[in-house]
């Protein structure tokens, strides 16, 4: 059996600025991403605005998730007991290697050479498909977008709409090639029909299915999945064996809590009032659904996040991707720039944490901290706050190394901190700046080129030169004498 | 009312005219303005870049300078949001309970400039005149942290001769984000390009905002592209060509 690395949520090719730069060169992708996010955003705004209690629902969602995380051990144990009682088998996987080993083992027990899959980001996170393929098992994605990604040997760029970076013509060309359909039309129906024909055969024949889960329900031991296409329900009902891999953070206390999330999740994710298919399943039932049911509960770096009080809210996420659609950085780059299964603002905080800040260290900086993500998040994760907390970790860790300590950034920030502690130092620095900038200032009074790391600014932007007189100098000259005398007058009146 | 000004570090060094404009508007409304030369910076750049520890002495310095102020007015929503959203956290991180208490007592006395005019003084018409086509860029912190809503727009609507042009995608960030514009210069430039296109589409001659940080960013590109569009802080517009008599009526 060939092993995969312990954690694979991060592709780790290059850091965000470099990957983003590459993505910015691709105008077709950028156009597709902008168009798709604009459409989803507009729908989302419309269906949330019509809810008079939207803010209350967000608050309720946040409370339920935060509560479940505070008592995670309790609810997971409860889930395990109830799931087992209903005839399910619960497996605990501490990392990707263990999860892959468990799943492959189950598949091999049933001599399956093929498995059908419902879209699951958790399986992307652990690199399950690659692991199965390396061991002679062919995974077949049944979600249309995931199928597109799989056939096109691409990577998802969005975790609700994984192929959002591709347009219809691109999908058609890929289907023509991969499904050997040279005459395929380019209407949405043509593409859907091609995929349906391709998939139907799999649904009816393949005996093992692998799914993720949107929610683990502690009080019933059930799992809930929401989806739009119905392919998930086929996978949940037709095969003999169902294996669900779910992150441990996905637990909610009770079936009743679904009431909140089945309202907020679809509205946030795709701008629909309700998902067309909401399935909950619980153990096994004679004559109905799979004969064998397994749940793999995945930690893979989640426990340390839980232990970090400042960052714990990261785990409240219900993966609606509203933060991606709202994010101006994501709008420009699409998901691939994040080099991670989890893109966008949530990816920027989740990915580096899943890797104990060892990988994806540039991601907490992949944000202008504009706050659009926090505004839309249906479980109120304050992503900007967590980004800053993680930046703090990056800086502290960097400062502990020789290179980090003597980096231009660190020296510059230390120098600025020194100046800001004392106004006379700052005033002095301003004076030095006014003189020192002179060689850089063009005739028009602007700086059009800056050296070193500041050069990023002047690549596309001019900078107005510092005026000869700062506000504090102006005040000292023009206002202070007058202010002092009026102060004296006033005191005279009062006294 | 005795109003203490906090002139942010970049306003002090790069945009002194904004501070002067704030002084002029508030004096016109009959307030006594004081500037405390010991002031420096709010600590935002350090905090947001992850230099959390280094931000604390700057925060402490701010609190020391303004602890006894009756009212602090700041012509920058991002600096005010730094104070409201992060100061207590920073003090808690340091385990400094006294600093926490001091911040709690100081925060209710801190106002962003336009917020001070409308929410605290109840003034929308400051008697300004500015006969230009203007568009308003709602900065992220003004919208999402301070929830200023249409406050700046209400102020602009009272300015004589001002022709206010609505902008598309007002909600979207201009891409400045402090050190983001340097650390992720390419993405920041791409965001800026979209924003600038929207500004140009309004046909305005001037783009205004309550934050010079965004305006510095926008102007950086507007100037590089050699457009004729200029930027001006809201305070500068409100300080322009006032119609004297009106001021007396609206004095708070
Ligand atoms: S962080 Fe919030 S908005 Fe983003 S995917 Fe998770 S739940 Fe949705």
Give per-residue pLDDT as tens, A253-264: 999 999 999 999
Q: Is B237 within 8 Å of B208 (Cβ atoms)? A: yes
pLDDT of residue A290: 94
Classify burial at A404, counting beta carbons within 10 Å of its beta carbon; exposed 0-12, middle 13-18, buried 19 or more. middle
A436 touches chain B (CB under 8 A): no
A116: β partners = A140, A209
Q: Is B107 within 8 Å of B101 (Cβ atoms)? A: no
**Average pLDDT for A162-169:** 86
Non-local (6+) Cβ contacts of B98 within 8 A are none
> In ligand 1, which atom is closest to the CA atom of A320?
8
Element containing residue A484 per DSSP (H, E): helix A480-494
**Average pLDDT for B48-67:** 96
Ligand 1 center to residue A317 CA distance, Å?
5
Name the residue of A261, A269, A319, A327 whose CB sits within 8 Å of the most ligand 1 atoms, as the mutation to test its pocket. Answer: A319
The upper half-sphere exposure of residue B212, i.e. CA atoms within 13 Å in the direction of its Cβ, equals 24
Element containing residue A463 per DSSP (H, E): strand A463-464
What is the tens place of the pLDDT at every residue in A136-149?
999 999 998 899 88
What is the tens place of the pLDDT at every residue in A348-365?
999 999 999 888 999 999
- Backbone φ and ψ of B160, nearest 5°: -65, 135
What is the tens place of the pLDDT at every residue in B185-221?
999 999 999 999 999 999 999 999 999 999 999 999 9
Strands A292-298 and A89-93: parallel
Distance, in Å, from the CA atom of B225 to the CA atom of A382, rounded to the nearest integer, reads 36
Torsion of CA A150, A124, A59, B84, to 10 degrees: -110
Closest of B133, B148, B144, B149 to residue B203, by C-alpha: B133
Distance, in Å, from the CA atom of A470 to the CA atom of B13, rounded to the nearest integer, reads 5
Distance, in Å, from the CA atom of B3 to the CA atom of B17, rounded to the nearest integer, reads 18
Q: Is A38 within 8 Å of A386 (Cβ atoms)? A: no
Among A329, A385, A446, whose Cβ lies nearest the Cβ of B223? A446
Q: What share of chain B is helix, strand, coil (3-state, %, to 5)?
A: 55, 10, 35
Residues of chain B neighbouring A377 (CB-CB closer than 8 A)? none
Closest CA of chain A from B192, distance in Å: 9
CA-based R_g, chain A, Å? 27
pLDDT at B145 over 70: yes
Ligand 1 center to residue A323 CA distance, Å?
6
Among B34, B53, B183, whose Cβ lies nearest the Cβ of A17? B183
Classify burial at B251, counting beta carbons within 10 Å of its beta carbon; exposed 0-12, middle 13-18, buried 19 or more. middle
Q: In the A/B pair of chains, how many CB contacts fall below 8 A?
A: 206
pLDDT of residue B246: 43
Closest of A377, A367, A385, A260 to residue A322, by C-alpha: A377
Among A20, A476, A483, whose Cβ lies nearest the Cβ of B34? A483
Strands B72-74 and B2-5: parallel
What is the tens place of the pLDDT at every residue in A397-439?
999 999 999 998 999 999 998 888 888 888 888 888 888 888 8
Q: Is B92 within 8 Å of B215 (Cβ atoms)? A: no
pLDDT of residue B250: 39
Ligand 1 center to residue A287 CA distance, Å?
38
Closest CA of chain A from B67, distance in Å: 16
Distance, in Å, from the CA atom of A17 to the CA atom of B227, rounded to the nearest integer, reads 28
Q: Is A355 within 8 Å of A397 (Cβ atoms)? A: no
DSSP summary character for residue B246:
H
pLDDT of residue A5: 56
Residues A159, A160, A164, A170: is their CA dihedral positive or negative? positive
Q: Which of the residues A352, A367, A457, A475 would you substitute to probe the B interface, choosing the one with the greatest number of B C-beta atoms within 10 Å?
A: A475
pLDDT of residue B95: 95
**Average pLDDT for A464-484:** 86
Helix (H, G, I), strand (E, B) or coil at B98: helix
Residues of chain B neighbouring A332 (CB-CB closer than 8 A)? 187, 190-191, 194
- Side by side, the strands of the sheet bearing B230-233 are B163-165, B133-136, B206-209, B230-233
Token readout for A418 is: 């020194």
Number of neighbouring beta carbons within 10 Å of residue A95:
16
pLDDT grade, residue A492 (50/70/90)?
very low
Ligand 1 center to residue A19 CA distance, Å?
23
B40 and A426 within 8 Å at the Cβ level: the answer is yes
pLDDT of residue B243: 56
A374 touches chain B (CB under 8 A): yes
pLDDT at A481 over 90: no
CA-based R_g, chain B, Å? 18
Q: Is A318 within 8 Å of A265 (Cβ atoms)? A: yes
Helix (H, G, I), strand (E, B) or coil at A317: coil
> In ligand 1, which atom is closest to the CA atom of A345?
4
Alpha helices in A437-479 (DSSP H): 455-460, 471-474
Torsion of CA A443, A444, A448, A450, to 10 degrees: 60
pLDDT at A188 over 70: yes
Token readout for A493 is: 């009146």
Among A367, A388, A467, whose Cβ lies nearest the Cβ of B16? A467
Distance, in Å, from the CA atom of B33 to the CA atom of B27, rounded to the nearest integer, reads 7
pLDDT grade, residue A4 (50/70/90)?
low
Distance, in Å, from the CA atom of A393 to the CA atom of A352, rounded to the nearest integer, reads 11
Across all residues in chain A, what is the average pLDDT? Answer: 91
What is the tens place of the pLDDT at every residue in A20-45?
999 999 999 999 999 999 999 999 99
For chain A, the farthest-separated pair of C-alpha atoms sits apart, in whole angstroms, at: 97
**Would the CB of A321 count as within 6 Å of ligand 1?**
yes
| Terminal alpha carbon distance of chain B | 9
pLDDT of residue A396: 96
Strands B163-165 and B230-233: unpaired
B140 and A413 within 8 Å at the Cβ level: the answer is no
Helix (H, G, I), strand (E, B) or coil at A299: coil
Residues of chain A neighbouring B173 (CB-CB closer than 8 A)? 328, 368, 370, 372
Strands B2-5 and B32-35: parallel
Residues of chain B neighbouring A435 (CB-CB closer than 8 A)? none
Element containing residue A65 per DSSP (H, E): helix A54-70
Name the residue of A381, A382, A383, A386 whose CB sits within 8 Å of the most ligand 1 atoms, as the mutation to test its pocket. Answer: A381
**Would the CB of A317 count as within 6 Å of ligand 1?**
yes
Closest of A200, A263, A208 to residue A241, by C-alpha: A208
pLDDT at A324 over 80: yes
**Would the CB of A322 count as within 6 Å of ligand 1?**
yes
Helix (H, G, I), strand (E, B) or coil at A367: coil
Among B173, B216, B223, whose Cβ lies nearest the Cβ of A368? B173
Distance, in Å, from the CA atom of A63 to the CA atom of A66, rounded to the nearest integer, reads 5
The upper half-sphere exposure of residue A435, i.e. CA atoms within 13 Å in the direction of its Cβ, equals 5
Cα distances from A154 to residues A25, A28, A146, A174, in angstroms, run: 18, 16, 9, 11
pLDDT grade, residue A487 (50/70/90)?
low
Residues of chain B neighbouring A374 (CB-CB closer than 8 A)? 144
Non-local (6+) Cβ contacts of B188 within 8 A are A368, A456, B175, B176, B177, B180, B181, B182
Torsion of CA A492, A493, B1, B3, to 10 degrees: -10
Q: Which of the residues B57, B186, B192 would you substitute to probe the A interface, choosing the one with the greatest number of A C-beta atoms within 10 Å?
A: B186
pLDDT grade, residue A126 (50/70/90)?
very high
Ligand 1 center to residue A377 CA distance, Å?
5
Closest of A243, A255, A332, A343 to residue A294, by C-alpha: A243
What is the tens place of the pLDDT at every residue in A42-96?
999 999 999 999 999 999 999 999 999 999 999 999 999 999 999 999 999 999 9
Non-local (6+) Cβ contacts of A145 within 8 A are A119, A156, A161, A162, A163, A164
Non-local (6+) Cβ contacts of B134 within 8 A are B156, B162, B163, B164, B165, B204, B205, B206, B207, B208, B237
pLDDT of residue A484: 60
Token readout for A7 is: 């954690």
pLDDT of residue B245: 40
Residues of chain B neighbouring A16 (CB-CB closer than 8 A)? 184
Which ipTM value was assigned to this complex?
Answer: 0.94
Q: Which of the residues B15, B144, B184, B212 would you substitute to probe the A interface, choosing the one with the greatest number of A C-beta atoms within 10 Å?
A: B184
Q: What is the pTM of this model?
A: 0.93
């Amino acid at each position: 059996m060939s092993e995969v690395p312990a954690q694979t949520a991060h592709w780790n090719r290059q850091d965000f600025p470099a990957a983003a730069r590459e993505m910015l060169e691709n105008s077709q992708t950028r156009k597709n991403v902008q168009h798709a996010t604009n459409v989803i955003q507009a729908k989302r705004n419309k269906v949330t605005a019509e809810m008079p209690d939207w803010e209350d629902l967000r608050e309720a969602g946040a409370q339920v998730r935060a509560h479940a995380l505070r008592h995670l051990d309790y609810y997971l144990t409860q889930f395990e007991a109830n799931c087992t009682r209903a005839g399910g088998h619960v497996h605990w996987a501490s990392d990707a290697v263990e999860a892959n080993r468990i799943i492959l083992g189950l598949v091999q027990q049933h001599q399956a050479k093929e498995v059908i899959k419902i879209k699951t980001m958790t399986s992307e996170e652990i690199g399950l498909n690659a692991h199965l393929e390396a061991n002679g098992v062919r995974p077949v994605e049944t979600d249309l977008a995931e199928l597109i990604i799989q056939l096109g040997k691409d990577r998802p760029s969005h975790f609700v709409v994984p192929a959002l970076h591709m347009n219809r013509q691109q999908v058609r060309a890929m289907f023509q090639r991969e499904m050997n359909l040279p005459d395929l039309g380019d209407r949405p129906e043509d593409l859907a029909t091609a995929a349906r024909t391709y998939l139907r055969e799999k649904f009816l024949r393949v005996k093992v299915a692998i799914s993720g889960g949107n929610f683990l329900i502690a009080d019933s031991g059930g799992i809930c999945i929401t989806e739009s296409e119905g392919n998930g329900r086929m996978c949940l009902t037709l095969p003999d064996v169902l294996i669900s891999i779910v992150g441990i953070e996905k637990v909610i206390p009770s079936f009743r809590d679904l009431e909140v999330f089945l309202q907020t999740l679809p509205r946030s994710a795709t701008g629909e009032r309700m998902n067309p298919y909401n399935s909950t399943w619980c153990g096994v039932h004679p004559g109905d659904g799979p004969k064998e049911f397994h749940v793999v509960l995945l930690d893979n770096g989640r426990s340390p996040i839980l232990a970090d009080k400042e960052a714990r809210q990261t785990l409240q996420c219900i993966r609606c991707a509203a933060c991606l659609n709202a994010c101006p950085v994501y709008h420009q780059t699409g998901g691939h720039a994040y080099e991670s299964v989890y893109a966008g603002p949530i990816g920027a905080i989740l990915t580096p944490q899943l890797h104990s800040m060892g990988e994806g260290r540039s991601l907490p900086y992949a944000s202008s901290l504009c706050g659009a993500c926090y505004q839309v998040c249906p479980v109120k994760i304050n992503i900007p706050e967590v980004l800053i907390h993680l930046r703090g970790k990056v800086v502290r860790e960097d400062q502990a190394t020789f290179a980090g300590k003597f980096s231009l950034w660190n020296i510059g920030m230390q120098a600025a901190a020194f100046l800001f502690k004392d106004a006379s130092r700052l005033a002095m620095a301003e004076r030095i700046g006014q003189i020192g900038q002179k060689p850089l200032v063009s005739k028009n009074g602007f700086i059009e080129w800056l050296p070193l790391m500041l050069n990023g600014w002047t690549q596309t932007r001019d900078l107005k030169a510092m005026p000869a007189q700062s506000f504090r100098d102006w005040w000292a000259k023009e206002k202070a004498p007058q202010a002092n005398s009026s102060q004296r007058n006033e005191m005279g009146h009062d006294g | 009312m005795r109003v203490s000004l906090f002139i942010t570090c970049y306003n002090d060094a790069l945009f002194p005219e904004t501070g002067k404009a704030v002084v002029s508007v508030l004096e016109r409304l009959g307030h006594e303005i004081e500037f405390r030369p010991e002031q420096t910076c709010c600590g935002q750049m350090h905090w947001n870049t992850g230099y959390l520890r280094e931000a604390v002495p700057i925060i402490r310095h701010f609190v020391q300078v303004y602890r006894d102020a009756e009212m602090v007015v700041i012509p920058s929503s991002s600096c005010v949001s730094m104070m409201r959203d992060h100061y207590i956290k920073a003090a808690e991180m340091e385990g400094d309970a006294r600093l926490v208490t001091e911040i709690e007592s100081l925060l209710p006395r801190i106002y962003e400039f336009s917020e001070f005019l409308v929410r605290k003084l109840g003034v929308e018409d400051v008697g300004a005149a500015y006969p230009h086509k203007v568009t308003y860029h709602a900065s992220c912190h003004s919208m999402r942290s301070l929830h200023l809503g249409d406050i700046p727009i209400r102020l602009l609507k009272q300015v004589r001769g001002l022709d206010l042009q609505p902008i598309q995608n007002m909600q979207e960030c201009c891409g400045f984000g402090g050190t983001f514009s340097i650390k992720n210069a390419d993405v920041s430039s791409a965001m800026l390009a979209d924003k600038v296109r929207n500004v140009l589409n309004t046909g305005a001659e001037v783009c205004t905002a309550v934050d010079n940080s965004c305006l510095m960013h926008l102007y950086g590109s507007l100037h590089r592209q050699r457009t004729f569009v200029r930027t001006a802080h809201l305070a500068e517009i409100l300080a322009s060509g006032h119609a004297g008599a009106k001021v007396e009526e609206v004095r708070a």
